[in-house]
Amino acid sequence: MDEETRKYLEEKARTLRRHIIRMLAEAGSGHPGGSLSAADIVTALYFRVLRLDPRNPAWPERDRFVLSKGHAAPALYAALAERGFFPVEDLWGLRKLSSHLQGHPDMRKTPGVEASTGSLGQGLAMANGMALAGKLDRKDYRVYALIGDGEMEEGEIWEAAMAASHYRLDNLTVFLDYNGLQIDGPTSQVMSTEPVEEKWRSFRWNVIPIDGHDFGQILTAIEQAREHLGQPTMIVARTIKGKGVSFMENAVGWHGNAPTREQAQKALAELGGEPVSE
């Protein structure tokens, strides 16, 4: 990846993080920690990888992205707005009456959203269905999904993992946002998922470990997944909860608490953004 592309993606990720902070401050509720940890992965997908047409969200040949950890919806909404699926101004209506931006993604209301998610564990199974449909229809689109490490505690994840390898869904690439924290505390204490990489390999997945905040590693892993045949790919992305905002980083309390106006101003100052309006 050349330096120009890296700088472009880094600035896009900062823009998404600024949108996330402002959205949540305006709404007074939501999930900053996991939205910020996933922002670089979402940025790489929406601004470098996914084949999409914002003017035609239902284009049959499009790539699909399923946000299985639906509480990170602000990251997805920010990317969709920046890609032109709807106006950026719509973001400030997050979680408000008459807004099309729900607290969790709703494919019936928001252009560009492929699956209604939020009940953890279900998104991977839906992504499987999309990938299998692509195989049956002989389409060349690819399916991407993002799951959380706390979400890995759900049994449906492992049912879907078995199905994906059984059907050899090599058109499916999944990211694990491995930030080590969930709503009740560290995943290692709530329900340890280690050894993560060995688990997915034992389910017959192609596994690629990366730094989930390094765009070079993210894009290289995606390309490796594209070239790997006969197996679905799990990209184990080590991330930092609350990435980009110093007082939110690695702090479990920011899983589901929106910043106050004062906290948002501080966060936006760190991210180089305009202050939140009073």
Q: Where are the domains of the chain?
A: 3-271
Phi, psi (degrees; rounded to nearest 5) at 175: -100, 135
The tens digit of pLDDT for each residue in 1-29 reads: 899 999 999 999 999 999 999 999 999 99
Residue range 122-126: average pLDDT? 98
Average pLDDT over residues 214-243: 98
Q: What is the pLDDT of residues 46-89, one digit of tens each?
A: 999 999 999 999 999 999 999 999 999 999 999 999 999 999 99
**Fold designation for 3-271:** Rossmann fold (3.40.50)
Mean pLDDT across the chain: 97
Q: Judge whether residue 179 has pLDDT over 60.
A: yes
Mean pLDDT of 256-275: 92
State the Cα–Cα distance between residues 243 and 271, nearest whole angstrom.
Answer: 11
Residue 278 has pLDDT above 60, yes or no: no
Contacts of 258 (CB under 8 A, 6+ apart): 24, 25, 27, 28, 29, 30, 32
| 107 pLDDT higher than 70 | yes
Question: What burial class does residue 108 get, using C-beta atoms within 10 Å of its C-beta: 0-12 exposed, 13-18 middle, 19+ buried?
Answer: exposed
